[in-house]
Amino acid sequence: MRKVSVYSTKNCPYCRMTKAFLEKHGVPYESIDVGEDSDAAKHMIELSGQRGVPVIVVDTDVIIGFDSQKLNELFGEGVSGEVFDVLIVGAGPAGLTAGVYCARKMLNTVIISENIGGQALESWAIENYMGYRMITGEDLMKKFEEQVLTLNMKLELDRIVSISKKDDIFTLTTISENTYKAKTVILAQGNRPKKLGVANEEQFLGRGLSICSTCDGPLYRGKRVAIVGGGNSALQTAVEMSEIAQSVRLLVRSSIRADPAYVKMLESKKNIEVLLNTQVTALHGNKFLSAITIRNEKGEEQKIDLDGIFIEIGWLPNTDILNGFVSLNEKKEIIVDINCHTSTEGVFAAGDVTSVKSKQIIIAAGDGAKAALEAHEYLLKSA
């Protein structure tokens, strides 16, 4: 039997998904909280070269992050040849809600996603979802997931890499080389974080540069950090990190574009320095990030010593896999009509991956329900 250890932090959604994957496949593991245990954190960093979680150790193999491909190779099971009524790509608010509505219509459904919760997982606090005065993104998505898991459907942690249609049947292949077939498809794969676009960015990812503050924030307790961005997510991250870090710099490319509620919270913090009209032009360090260079509106550059930087500059739609399969707009978002229909018959789409203007959890969930009901109606007409 393999010895498996999972280095994680309390609020890291990707850590939770790693453990859920192992539990689903009956794999025993040791859980090590590096947010609470500083010695364990040092050991994890020495072992993996990473200042980010999760880190999974399988015997002597070290796996960085929630690597669905590697985990499926080690512990996954084969896929049956059944044809599903509905295949849902993505398990964020839109995908999970679509799953609930498909199950209520007694449709044979499978959800395939790299993670459970999507972009919503990275919200420290949500104050505009009906029924909750305030709830974290992880807790809200956990409630979505718990409801889905009570229903008769499959949920697989994997990544779709191609999609095709032949004789009214859709075939989707995953990065783990599993193949699924379905009569209809709901695309709800959401967005991915934008990158800074500076040299050495990939080198420092997980080594001082983070795109998930809820995951990696506890590893920067008492340290100097910067947040890049001027929207709600950036201000939220700055406020939360101000409770953990020694100092926080908020680097805003132009001006702050966040809701007044977040601006008010930001202004109440004494250890946050806001630098407007500022962009990051370089990252510095050896094994780990140790400094950045910033440039102001006058073109003046300044090198700042710090321990970590969190990127919150927006998102890009996950539509690279579609390759002309459905029509996209100039932003590479899936074009949908008012009822979530795409340009390809039998394919529906919902959530932030679509051309719907407002990107909100409650809107994504509503559109997920609409997409499921439209898929059900399509199947009835095709029967």
C-alpha 174/C-alpha 158 separation (Å) is 6
In one letter, which amino acid is 217? G
Question: Exactly one of 102, 215, 352, 367 is catalytic; which is it?
Answer: 215
Structure tokens of 22?
């192992």
DSSP at 75: H
Cα–Cα separations (whole angstroms), residue 305 to 26, 142, 208, 277, 309 = 45, 37, 12, 19, 11
| Cβ atoms within 10 Å of 200's Cβ, excluding its own | 14
In 3D, which of 362, 377, 376 has the Cα closest to residue 97? 362
Query: Is 212 an annotated catalytic residue?
Result: yes
Answer yes or no: are the C-beta atoms of 151 and 100 closer than 8 Å. yes
Task: Report which secondary-structure segment, H or E, holds 290.
Answer: strand 289-295
Question: Exactly one of 212, 307, 340, 367 is catalytic; which is it?
Answer: 212
Query: Is 305 an annotated catalytic residue?
Result: no
Angle, alpha carbons 76-159-72 (nearest 5°): 15
Residue with tokens 């889905």: 148
Question: Exactly one of 15, 102, 158, 216 is catalytic; which is it?
Answer: 216
Structure tokens of 57?
């150790």
State the catalytic residues. 212, 215-216
